[in-house]
Amino acid sequence: MLNLQPYADPKYFIILLLALLPLAIGLYFGKRFAWYEVIVSVVFIFLMFDGHKYHEGFALIGYMIWQWLLVWAYTIYRKKANNSWVFYGATVLAIVPLALVKIAPAAHWTHVTTLLGFMGISYLTFRSVAMIMETRDGTIKAFNPWLFLRFMLFLPTISSGPIDRYRRFVKDIESVPAREKYLDMLGKAVHFFFLGFLYKFVLSYIFGTLLLPRVEHMAMLSAHANGGWSWWLIGVMYAYGFDLFFDFAGYSLFAVATGYVMGIEVPMNFNLPFLSKNLKEFWNRWHMTLSFWFRDFVFMRLVFMMMKNKWFKSRITTSNVAYIANMLLMGFWHGLTWYYIAYGLFHGVGLVVNDAWLRYKKKHHVPHNKFTEAFAIVLTFHVVMISFLLFSGFLDTLWFHHHH
């Protein structure tokens, strides 16, 4: 049975681009073949979840029916009334399948993972929850079942993002880019495909497949002698951090490039994150669609709620609490292990410290020049790298599962 994992090998790209060719020709001549696009998507999604992954395919179908009914029911309700508790209820129900899948490994519910889990569940949940929230706000006014399915199951981004927004997506899918614009998008797509190949199949391979296992092995050996600490950890940190970036940024570039071929301007996920001068800037450049999602749907709403209910006198305290809650939630989203939660806390506290430093800098006119800027970039890079070492879970293996 042919099983095609997204962007896994050259074969996938050849089959994908051949399948998308009629669509691209249509777009070039100012036509969007919606039915053809849907058929291609269904076939590729089927090939992603067939064979040994068939139970994930069934989980996806069940999940989609659940989300469809939920968003549809909430839209009908919202036209008539606007009770906060109904909104909270709908949001919680939208998150339940994902929450169960995230809790399952920690609670050892293997049947839950088999029954509900499928590749991409996290990213689909972001889309439906955002739709419920925007329906609450009144920015999404109607439920279109057809557009809902095309948005949720958009082929290039189904398994790992970037996380698009419904209104932005619909504007693209209901129109055809002008020919010059489309040619420009195709040019960018070619560029992104090649850059993605460099990132994922060359650089990520060097750091993740060639280097990482070796430095991890050395770290294990020397930690054994030195009571859990080892200078090799620094090597693990760099190798893992670069592998994480090049693997995921490469993947995101493929998704964006494929979206562009389909005439959809999928939002970018990374913008030179290692050149950030502080943590706040880092989160505006790293996994951008995720951090902007959390900013808009968690952080801003928390701040608004706390200010409305006057929880804290000071605005600074309010935003600090929101930073920590926001990042902790992001940590929990990654998974229920101590190191993911610690990673979230690390970045939450990091943003609080960062904000305090920016206020201090402004008040005391701290000197600012090329050197301080270079220092800030190097410092931020290393703070982030330390957080990635934590995120990798290697410390967990090293300290708590180190078999002699």
Task: Collect the ranges in the chain with pLDDT lower than 50.
Answer: 404
For residues 163 and 45, membership in a common domain is answered with: yes
Q: In the annotation, is 334 catalytic?
A: yes
| Residue 315 CB contacts under 8 Å (≥ 6 apart), including other chains | 307
Q: How does pLDDT run across 336-364, given as a tens digit for each residue? A: 999 999 999 999 999 999 999 999 999 99
Give dist(CA 106, CA 218) in Å, integer.
29
Contact call for residues 26 and 39 (beta carbons, < 8 A) = no
Contact call for residues 57 and 118 (beta carbons, < 8 A) = yes
For residues 195 and 295, membership in a common domain is answered with: no
Dihedral of alpha carbons 391, 94, 147, 65, sign: positive
Domain assignment of residue 3, yes or no: no
Question: Where is the domain boundary, 152, 176, 200?
Answer: 176
For residues 50 and 160, membership in a common domain is answered with: yes
Domain assignment of residue 127, yes or no: yes
pLDDT score recorded for residue 134: 98
For residues 225 and 345, membership in a common domain is answered with: no
Question: Side-chain half-sphere of 371: how many Cα atoms within 13 Å?
Answer: 2
For residues 251 and 282, membership in a common domain is answered with: no
For residues 281 and 356, membership in a common domain is answered with: yes
Contact call for residues 161 and 255 (beta carbons, < 8 A) = yes
Domain assignment of residue 4, yes or no: no
Q: How does pLDDT run across 188-239, given as a tens digit for each residue? A: 999 999 999 999 999 999 999 999 999 999 999 998 888 888 999 999 999 9
Question: Where is the domain boundary, 123, 150, 176?
Answer: 176
User: Residue 290 is which amino acid?
Assistant: L
For residues 322 and 311, membership in a common domain is answered with: yes
Residue 401 has phi, psi (to 5 degrees) of -130, 30
Domain assignment of residue 317, yes or no: yes
For residues 87 and 235, membership in a common domain is answered with: no
For residues 259 and 287, membership in a common domain is answered with: no
Q: Which of 334, 364, 401, 403 is catalytic?
A: 334
**Can you read off the two tokens belonging to residue 136?**
């609450």
Quickly list H helices, 108-158: 110-116, 121-137, 145-152
User: Residue 382 is which amino acid?
Assistant: H
Domain assignment of residue 5, yes or no: no
Give me the helix-helix angle, 212-225 and 232-261, nearest 10°.
150
For residues 68 and 107, membership in a common domain is answered with: yes
Give dist(CA 19, CA 45) in Å, integer.
13
Domain assignment of residue 1, yes or no: no
**Can you read off the two tokens belonging to residue 373?**
């800027």
Give dist(CA 216, CA 119) in Å, integer.
27
**DSSP label at residue 392:** T
Q: How many other C-beta atoms can be found within 10 angstroms of the C-beta atom of residue 271?
A: 13
Domain assignment of residue 371, yes or no: yes
Q: Which structural domain, as residue segments, surrounds residue 145?
A: 10-176
Quickly list H helices, 198-285: 204, 212-225, 232-261, 279-283
For residues 193 and 164, membership in a common domain is answered with: no
pLDDT score recorded for residue 108: 87
Domain assignment of residue 215, yes or no: yes
pLDDT score recorded for residue 403: 58
Question: Where is the domain boundary, 247, 270, 293?
Answer: 270
Give the count of domains, the chain: 3
**Can you read off the two tokens belonging to residue 338?**
């101590």
- Quick one: 285 exposed, middle or buried, by C-beta within 10 A (0-12, 13-18, 19+)? middle
pLDDT score recorded for residue 401: 81
For residues 205 and 294, membership in a common domain is answered with: no
Specify the pTM. 0.95
**DSSP label at residue 274:** G
Contact call for residues 372 and 277 (beta carbons, < 8 A) = no
Length of the chain: 404
pLDDT score recorded for residue 223: 87
Give dist(CA 392, CA 376) in Å, integer.
24
Give dist(CA 256, CA 154) in Å, integer.
12
pLDDT score recorded for residue 372: 96
